[in-house]
Amino acid sequence: MSISRTFTTRFTKAALALLLATSSSLAMAQERPDLVVGVADLPATLEPGKELSNVGTRVNYSIFDTLIRRDFLSDEGGGGSTLVPSLATSWSRIDDRTLEVKLRDDVTFHNGAKLTAEDVVFTFSPERLSGENALLPEGPAYFSVLEAVKAIDDTTLHFITKGPDPLLEQRLASWASWIVNKADWEAKAAEDGGVPMFPVGTGPYMLDSYRADEAIRLVANDAYFGGTPTAASVTFREVPEPSTRVAGLVSGEFDIITNVAPDQIDQINSYDDIETRSVVLANSHVLVYNVTDPALSDARVRQAMNLAIDRDLLNQALWGGQAVVPNGHQYPEFGDMYNPDHVGVEYDPERARALLEEAGYDGALIRYTTQPHYYLNALPAAQAIIEMWKDVGLNVELNVVESFSGVDFKTLQVRTWSNSTRYPDPVGGLWNLWGPFGSPQRTNQSWIGTENLERFNELGAILESTVALEPRQQAAWEMLDIWKEDAPGTVLYQPLETYGVAKDVNWQPYTFYYMDLRPYNLSFDAQ
């Protein structure tokens, strides 16, 4: 329980009744607790299109809204494939390149400005999000398909794509598509030197204070169009050490904690007033290889590295068998675009040794760089994988850094990463992350110049611009084969994401990193 709710229970009913009768402000405080969340890390900025990460998304989901929202609660299996209105009341296809969107007319930003179509046009503008040289470098991966976004009137917009786009509605419901206030963004950008750290949104909570590497405090936006927020405030407190987060949950310092390790689940569940809640994420922990590095330039070496990893053993040892080893870089949420016959990952150390011999691997040193706390179990996984690699004849050493901040990724041979499906389709997974606008090709340039890369990019262009199912399937499934053969990285597993939660907090985690604290997914049992 949080401090405010623990405080409430110390009073007798008579004393509490007297306090409530004499102070309406105290009454409101007791009706709406202050939620405190212990997290492993905090985002460096709250610009929603820039901080596209698990830690950033967790916070920004309460500050900003998208036009269309993925509904994780009603979806069978929790995949979030169903789309429901958010800032938009409705949307419809006018032709194969134009989507008409109607906005709500009762929405205000946290600075009091009314939401208009011009704010939406600016949000997706080429200079901010959709252009090749956009200020937000990941934006083009989602919105380079846009030719124009036009305001027809204050509440009507036309999204016009360069060609037929089967996923435009999903793009508008994905991360990076949170709507910002144009005037506020431009004013803060002038002050912050290009991209503002703290633009305003329309969400249920708004920024109250930001202390880097310490805490972010949000307060309720009582004008929220989706209903009055059920917490008076939400504080995300950075606590890198997992055992310290668990201790804070047990003591009542935290209401929710993130990144609970599997071996902590039984401990938390042994208490009467706290419990764990788990989901398998539509996200994979992955390794990224620098194909331009001399030690890794031969694809056979990278293929051998992938064949040497016993992912089932990692799952059992690190996740108690509760993670999922996926069928390649794809997810069942893709529906008809999922290929059940694809042989995604294999464990074959003998074949790995043969490939290394065939490639003439000469024992060149390979450094595996990871952070100890950012991804749960990243360090023990790295330690185990290094031993597996050594077993097949690779010369490997571990390089542990506290943070990737300031690290030049172009110098790293092997690094940890995670890949979430931005929307339930291969365009939202493999293509967004590993295509021309993804970091391996664009910013980090760890996957460039290989024999099959040009074909991969050609297929991705077909995938994102074709409506017919069969050619989309053929393109996506050939891309899976190329990614496996080129081996610019590998999938390890879909992690089990476990939260520790006070039992009087009614909140459901999702299969994505969104921490949804809107009224329909957050309430508190009466004391």
Q: Above 80 in pLDDT, residue 4? A: no
* Helix boundaries (H) for 23-104: 24-31, 54-63
Q: Above 70 in pLDDT, residue 500? A: yes
Q: Above 60 in pLDDT, residue 19? A: no
What's the average model confidence in pLDDT over 129-143? 83
Inter-axis angle of helices 24-31 and 13-22, nearest 10: 120
Average pLDDT for the chain: 91
d(CA 180, CA 343): 42
DSSP strand E in 40-134: where?
A: 68-71, 82-85, 88-95, 98-103
Q: Above 90 in pLDDT, residue 281? A: no
- At residue 464, the pLDDT reads 87
> Based on C-alpha coordinates, what's the Rg of the chain?
24
d(CA 409, CA 444): 6
- At residue 9, the pLDDT reads 32
Percent of the chain predicted with pLDDT > 70: 93
> Residue type at 7?
F
d(CA 433, CA 422): 9
In the beta sheet, which residues pair with residue 498? 278
Give pLDDT tens digits for 368-403: 999 988 888 999 999 999 999 999 999 999 999 988
Q: Above 90 in pLDDT, residue 319? A: yes
Q: Above 70 in pLDDT, residue 16? A: no
d(CA 168, CA 380): 40
- At residue 176, the pLDDT reads 86
- At residue 80, the pLDDT reads 74
What's the average model confidence in pLDDT over 185-214? 94
- At residue 404, the pLDDT reads 87
Q: Above 70 in pLDDT, residue 215? A: yes
What's the average model confidence in pLDDT over 268-286? 95
pTM of the model: 0.80
- At residue 293, the pLDDT reads 97
- At residue 78, the pLDDT reads 55
Predicted confidence band of residue 139 (pLDDT cuts 50, 70, 90): confident
Give pLDDT tens digits for 143-167: 989 999 999 999 999 999 999 998 9
Whose tokens are 């956009």? That residue is: 134
Give pLDDT tens digits for 63-85: 999 999 999 888 665 567 789 99
- At residue 352, the pLDDT reads 98
Q: Above 90 in pLDDT, residue 2? A: no
- At residue 26, the pLDDT reads 42
* Helix boundaries (H) for 291-406: 299-307, 311-319, 349-359, 378-391
Predicted confidence band of residue 18 (pLDDT cuts 50, 70, 90): very low
* CA-based end-to-end distance of the chain: 11
Whose tokens are 């398909």? That residue is: 145
**Element (H or E) spanning 500, and its range?**
strand 496-502
> Residue type at 445?
Q
- At residue 41, the pLDDT reads 92
Please say whether the beta carbons of 448 and 434 come within 8 A: no
Predicted confidence band of residue 30 (pLDDT cuts 50, 70, 90): low
Between residues 95 and 136, the one the model is more confident about: 95
Q: Which two tokens stand for residue 274?
A: 């706290």
